[in-house]
């Protein structure tokens, strides 16, 4: 019997030329918290692309490595890499069984990449994925609309709110910020 694995929470927020990625640190296996300080956001392609991934740890690492290779092969063109990677993820016999969701961004673009072949660009410059993603995204949208907080501050506070609501999200938050070129 396999215990249920629950994903993480990753949030990306764009405001005033900055993109902030925030993620919690909790890794849950069944009913047990196995780790509190995991890092789920990574810099890719010469530190010009940020990526966050929600899903099982092994699947997430495999997908992140494959996506980074795809970025390298297309000279860092994020849109092209995302579309080609999503196609590979959907059609590859091994990859299509991996269970995860990715958020990727460069200075100009913010995308969600899914294993079903979808590549989506959020309308409002904010996206949350994983177990607490909807909570974090809703909080971030409210903070964007009703405050003057920076992208970093919004991402951190929205993750704190999600951690209070989602049992698979903790408040050990990692934040990475990218400035527009």
Give 104's strand partners: 51, 111
Please give the DSSP secondary-structure letter assigned to residue 12. Answer: E
Annotated catalytic residue: which of 8, 9, 169, 174? Answer: 8
Q: Among 34, 13, 47, which Cα is nearest to 129's?
A: 13
Cα–Cα distance between 81 and 66 in angstroms, integer?
Answer: 10
28 in active site: no
CB count within 10 Å of CB 44 equals 22
Enumerate helices (H) and strands (E) in the chain, giving the number of each.
4, 12
Indicate which residues carry an active-site annotation: 8
């Amino acid at each position: 019997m396999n215990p249920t694995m629950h994903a993480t929470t990753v949030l990306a927020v764009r405001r005033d030329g900055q993109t902030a990625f925030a993620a919690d640190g909790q890794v849950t296996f069944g009913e047990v918290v196995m780790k509190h300080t995991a890092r789920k956001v990574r810099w890719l392609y010469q530190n010009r692309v940020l990526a966050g991934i929600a899903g099982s740890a092994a699947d997430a690492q495999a997908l992140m490595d494959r996506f980074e290779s795809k970025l390298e092969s297309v000279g860092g063109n994020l849109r092209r890499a995302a579309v080609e990677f999503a196609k590979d993820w959907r059609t590859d016999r091994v990859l299509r069984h991996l269970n995860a969701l990715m958020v990727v961004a460069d200075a100009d673009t913010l995308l969600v990449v899914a294993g079903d072949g979808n590549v989506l660009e959020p309308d409002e410059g904010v996206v949350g994925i994983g177990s607490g993603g909807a909570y974090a995204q809703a909080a971030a949208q409210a903070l964007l609309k009703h405050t003057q907080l920076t992208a970093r501050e919004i991402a951190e506070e929205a993750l704190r709110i999600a951690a209070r609501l989602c049992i698979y999200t903790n408040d050990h938050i990692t934040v990475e910020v990218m400035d527009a070129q």
